[in-house]
Structure 1
Amino acid sequence: MRRVVLKNNDFQWIDVVSPTNTELEAIGHEFAIHQTAIQDCLQPEHLPKQEDIKDVNFIIVRFFDEAAPATANNVRQLTRKIAIFLGKDFLITIHRLDLGFLDALREKWETPISNHPDIIVLILRDLLKGVIKSYEVPLTDGQEALEEFESTIFEGKSTINSVQKLYLLRRKMSIYQRMLYLLQDILIKLDSPFELHSPLLQDLREEIEGLCFVVDHTVESADNLLTLNLSLASYRTNEIMRVLTIFSVFFMPLTFIAGIYGMNFEYMPELHWHNGYYGVLGSFIGLTLIIYIWFRRNGFL
């Protein structure tokens, strides 16, 4: 569906929702947009990018999808795509589904301010700002989830399920990290075509730098928690093996002696000793004490 959001003597903003191939080709012919850029609009998994094609500035951005399922773990499931075409007298936005923040922008720019001389840059700034802000909620949720995982790990309550959830969170944060850095690259590239309007985009650069710092810290923290969980699991395994080893060392000589005198050969003089039973018990106690003292002196107990 094609709709004209804003139109005056010098500029028009056209918003296209879920277009068909025919509609995209018509838009390409009407505004002299290169066919390769039109084809990029049809690729659902296309990553953010910016390029100049003749007199048209072509931008693809991806923003966080609030309707993404909890099990989402790839770019297509976690984000949605918006294609933006900027010309001297037009701005075209193309996306598959209705977007909440675009509705707010349409209401804002239907006011008399639409005659502002820098209107195209201001609308672009608001579009990119909406995309950037869409990542604030998942990043905040990710930090809170990490704190819960950290408590679970240090309390020794981590399970296979919790580790799987932690890995899924780390994967999501890594995707957000990639999207934000690609968006940051787009803002850097926009310095050239919009050099005179650079101050208008400066707040976006500062905002995305802050989010990049947050997502870097979150990914690093998730990696550290995964490593810590593996280390603690290995430590607990080693402790179990240490205890089992200590028990086996105590019982090996006792089992050896008991095995010898349990063979019941006819010609074993010790079997007929009057105090043989007490002698064996005494040797058991003596060996146990010797092993215990040796373990204590060497710091094994």
Structure 2
Amino acid sequence: MLRIMAIHKDGTIANDLPLQQLNRPDIQWYWVDFNEPTEEEAMLLERHFHFHPLAIEDCFHLLQRPKLDHYDDVHFFVLHAINPITLDAEEVDLFLGKNFVVTFHLQPSSEIDEAWKRITGQPDLREKGQLYAAYLVMDKLVDQYFPAVYQLEDQLSESESARKSIQALMDDIFEIRAKLLKLRKTILPMRDLLYRILNSERIEGVKEHLAYFTDIYDHLLKLSEMIESNREMTADMRDSYISINSNRMNAIMKTLTVITTIFMPLTFIAGIYGMNFEYMPELKWDWGYFTVLGVMFSIGFGMYVWFRRKGWFD
């Protein structure tokens, strides 16, 4: 579906103009939104707008990393939205020219819908031009990152405070780390993209809208710090789990080693008297069996007391 918004020089909006009339002298700037376009509609990127083939190719080869490319007088942005359920990235492409904005997305985008409504409903925003419309799209996309990050923070807090087994806790931690990695792959490139926009000399009008794009960049800085902080927290919890397991294993091995050490001399004595020789000392002694058992018990008990005093059972 194609949506067209044309802003006249007097500030009024025309929503029903055909593409061929968008370059009329009375049109100040316009916005064309390719919302889940058909194959025929998507071909207009080349047939009508004559965008660079590489930019058009990036629109269909998902999923591109957020980036900014300059093609003569057209600037091409690859932006990412976040699916609120799966936290997967969804690509939104934006073409910015001297008097137009063209957005292209294969999935529905509530962020673009909201930016569209704001431009439509507020005449003062239309006067700020196509660059401000591009800012609104980026701002709405970035604003939707916050609920996803806050949701993971809440999950992390619940997992930390809940009374779960260590294995269940680690399952939650690794799941949260996987989701944080998804968000990190979107937020950090978006932060770098905004940094390029702020320092770009090729995009006309950025200096006049510097405060707006700086605000988005500040949000992305905050988001990236939250992501790294949460990743560090999950790493600390993971390392604590590994340390607990290691200490528990060491304690078990120490106990087994002490028990094995106690039974070594007893096994030696039992082995000696288990040999089938006819002539052995004390072999035919009436009290030999009980004496050997007494000696073995004394050795075992004595070693246990000694190890206990040395703290090997603590």
Structure 1-normalised TM-score?
0.86
Q: CA deviation at 1:107?
A: 2.0
Alpha-carbon spacing, 1:188–1:236, altered in 2? closer, same or farther (3 Å)? same
Alpha-carbon distance in structure 2 between the residues aligned to 1:252 and 1:240: 18
Q: How far, CA to CA, are the matches of 1:66 and 1:156 in structure 2?
A: 27
- Which residue identity lines up with residue 172 of structure 1 in the other structure? K
SS at match of 2:166: coil
Matched, 1:117 2:98: no
Structure 1 counterpart of 2:291, which letter? G
- Contact kept, 8 Å, 1:85 with 1:91, in 2: the verdict is yes
Instruction: Give the RMSD, CA atoms, in angstroms.
Output: 2.4
In structure 2, stretches of 5+ residues that fail to align are 9-26
**Aligned residue type for 2:3:** R
| Other-structure match for 1:239 | 251
Deviation, 1:67, is 3.8
For 2:164 and 2:249, locate their aligned partners in 1 and report how far apart those are by CA, in whole Å.
Answer: 13
Answer yes or no: is 1:157 the counterpart of 2:165: yes
Amino acid at match of 2:78: I
- Mapped pair 1:139 → 2:157: no
Contact preservation (8 Å) 2:34, 2:105: yes
Matches within 5 A, 1:1-301: 1-8=1-8, 9-68=27-86, 78-113=88-123, 116-151=126-161, 157-159=165-167, 163-191=170-198, 192=200, 193=203, 194-263=206-275, 265-301=277-313
**Take 2:54 and 2:192, find their aligned partners in 1: how far apart are those partners?**
21
Contact between 2:132 and 2:209, CA under 8 Å: does it hold in 1? no
What is the CA deviation profile of residues 224-264 of structure 1, one whole-angstrom value per residue up to 9, with x for unaligned ones?
A: 33333233222222222222112111122112212322335
Cα distance change on mapping 1:171 and 1:115 into 2, 3 Å: closer
Q: Matched residues, percent identical? A: 28
Q: Which amino acid aligns with 2:312?
A: F
Provide the C-alpha distance between the structure 2 equivalents of 1:218 and 1:168, rounded to a whole number of angstroms: 13
Moved more, 291-300 or 93-102: 291-300
SS of the counterpart of 1:190? Answer: helix
State the alpha-carbon separation in 1 of the partners of residues 165 and 80 from structure 2: 37
Deviations 1:131-182 (A, max 9, x none): 1122222212222333344457xx78222x6545433321221221121111
**How many equivalent residue pairs?**
290
| Partners of 2:252 and 2:148 in 1: CA distance | 39
- Distance in 1, matches of 2:74 and 2:132, equals 17
The one-letter code of the counterpart of 1:142 is L
Whether the 8 Å CA contact 1:25–1:38 is kept in 2: the answer is no
Instruction: Give CA-to-partner distance per residue, 1:21-61, whole Å, 9 cap, x none.
Output: 54333233433421111111001211110121111111111
Report the secondary structure of 1:170's partner residue.
helix
Greater mean deviation of Cα atoms: 181-190 or 251-260: 251-260
Match of 1:81, SS state, is: strand
On the 8 A contact 1:6/1:109 being kept in 2, the answer is no
Distance 2:159 2:280 in 1: 64
Amino acid at match of 1:167: F
Which structure ranks higher in relative contact order (CA pairs < 8 Å, sequence separation ≥ 6)? 1
Identify if the C-alpha distance between structure 1 residues 115 and 46 changes in structure 2 by more than 3 Å, giving closer, same or farther: closer
1:56 touches 1:86 (CA, 8 Å); kept in 2?
yes
- Structure 1: which 5+ residue stretches go unaligned? 69-76
